[in-house]
A and B are shown apart, each in its own frame.
Chain A
């Protein structure tokens, strides 16, 4: 009986494919903007091929069987690429589920005189495709998560650049909220750069930090203390008036820290510490 179904389906491959493509093409969720019809039919054929091929060895009874691994591989590839191309989960899911209609349609025609067998085989195929559908979702989500993780890494990296503004002076503009995990990244980056460049002064510019509450202030104080512990000085710059207001209202003590309103004045202070002087050159031609 098993052989029958597999054989029937293999024989009718062309018909299945046609039926499937037809269902997909009339579906409103067809994304011609993301994939051409040729590509779509290529993808569909690949999947049908893989499925019919494995039906030689795999039993329809066990949808989880290892024998279906090649099909799952093809599905993984398709749903990963779709996740990255920007397909919605629904569109990706529909792609797999619509195959069920095609398979069942063909089976119905071929087994119309064997209702019992038709019912049994339909259930099996249905279960198999459902299983594939779920696997597709899982891979799809995994693909999206990868994208998110990569972006998170990128954001963390981009958002904490350390700039060498002068020999011995580093500046680190912080953009965005400072939470404890971010502070750790900021601290690690800054301290490592201090060691690498043997800079004695670090300027932490917080113009891009939207708000400073007591927790953020505590993180800033920790960063300054750690810098000093290593033998360098840390200046906090970019303090907006409203931040100064909140700091005082919250009763946060920043007295042990050198604070400046702008990066320019922090830099000036740093020059002072390093006994450097910036002067306008006078063109003396007399």
Chain B
């Protein structure tokens, strides 16, 4: 996969999420992503960045424009050094939440993007990589 551009920003407070969402919107518009896909991507990114803030006290997001086999897309990597997730299968289930939320964050975000990858080590942190293609 060829990375055409990349940009990394920290998420340590709520207002960083606003900056992040705006930045993401700019990138999505830049690659010509349609409005619905933009909205899906930013909503998913919003869920995941909030998770980072709430459970891991923040982290960083890496935004990359990538060139796929047929179309360009955006790949976003969320990395934190938080407590990690013990049972990923459980965390990916609809309606499961350890915090005070609807428990739609992870499974919901997964449904909104083209590709969703999660790696987590208890005590070390969590990395989630999502990809959204321009037309998908």
Q: Does B32 contact A (CB under 8 A)?
A: no
Complex: chain B residue closest to A188, CB-CB: B36
Q: Is B36's CB under 8 angstroms from A181's CB?
A: no
- A184 and B136 CA atoms in complex are apart in Å by 10
Complex contacts, B136 vs chain A, CB 8 Å: 181
Q: Is the interface of A mostly helix, strand, loop or mixed?
A: helix
Contact digits for A168-209, partner B, Cβ 8 Å, 1 yes 0 no: 000000000000010010001000000000000000000000
Could you tell me which residues of chain A, from 83 to 135, have a CB within 8 Å of some CB in chain B? none
A95 to B49, CA, bound (A): 59
Could you tell me the distance between the alpha carbons of A158 and B133 in the complex, rounded to whole angstroms?
25
The closest CB in chain A to the CB of B35 belongs to: A188
A188–B34 CA distance with the chains assembled, in angstroms: 11
Give min CB distance, A226 to chain B, whole Å.
10
Determine the residue in chain B with the shortest Cβ distance to A191: B36
CB-CB nearest in chain B for A180: B136
User: Shortest distance in angstroms between B114's beta carbon and chain A's nearest beta carbon?
Assistant: 12
Docked Cα-Cα span, A188 to B36, in Å, equals 8
Q: How far apart are the CA atoms of A198 and B57 in the complex, in Å?
A: 44
Residues of A with C-beta under 8 A to B36? 184, 188
**In angstroms, how far is the closest chain B Cβ from the Cβ of A251?**
19
In the complex, how many angstroms separate the beta carbon of A2 from the nearest chain B beta carbon? Answer: 39
- Report the Cα distance A154→B89, complex, angstroms: 42
| B residues less than 8 Å from A188 (CB atoms) | 36
Question: In the complex the two chains form, what is the Cα distance from A120 to B136 in whole Å?
Answer: 52
A184, B112: Cα distance in complex, Å: 12
Closest chain A CB from B72 CB (angstroms): 17
Q: Measured between C-beta atoms, what is the minimum distance from A186 to chain B in Å?
A: 12
What residue in chain A is nearest B136 (Cβ atoms)?
A181
For A184, the chain B residues whose CB sits under 8 A away are: 36
* Chain A residue, CB-CB nearest to B135: A181
**In the complex, A137→B49 CA distance in Å?**
48
For window 188-239 of A, CB contacts with B under 8 Å fall at 188
- Residue of chain B at shortest CB distance from A187: B36
What separation, in Å, do the CA atoms of A14 and B36 have in the docked complex?
Answer: 60
Interface membership of chain B positions 23-52, coded 1 if the CB is closer than 8 angstroms to chain A and 0 otherwise: 000000000000010000000000000000
Bound: A184/B36 CA distance, A: 9
Complex Cα–Cα for A184 and B114 (A): 14
Q: How far is the CA of A181 from the CA of B136 in the complex (A)?
A: 8
- Assembly CA distance A184 to B35 (angstroms): 12
Contacts of A181 in B (CB 8 A): 136
How far apart sit A184 and B37, CA to CA, in the bound complex (Å)?
10
**In the assembly, what is the distance between CA of A29 and CA of B36, in Å?**
49
B34 CB, min distance to chain A CBs, angstroms: 8
Nearest Cβ distance between residue B103 and chain A, in whole angstroms?
19
Distance (whole angstroms) from the CB of A143 to the closest CB of chain B: 18
3 closest Cβ pairs, A-B complex? A188-B36, A184-B36, A181-B136
Pairs A–B under 8 Å by Cβ, sample size 3: A181-B136, A184-B36, A188-B36
Q: Which residues of B line the A interface, CB within 8 A? A: 36, 136
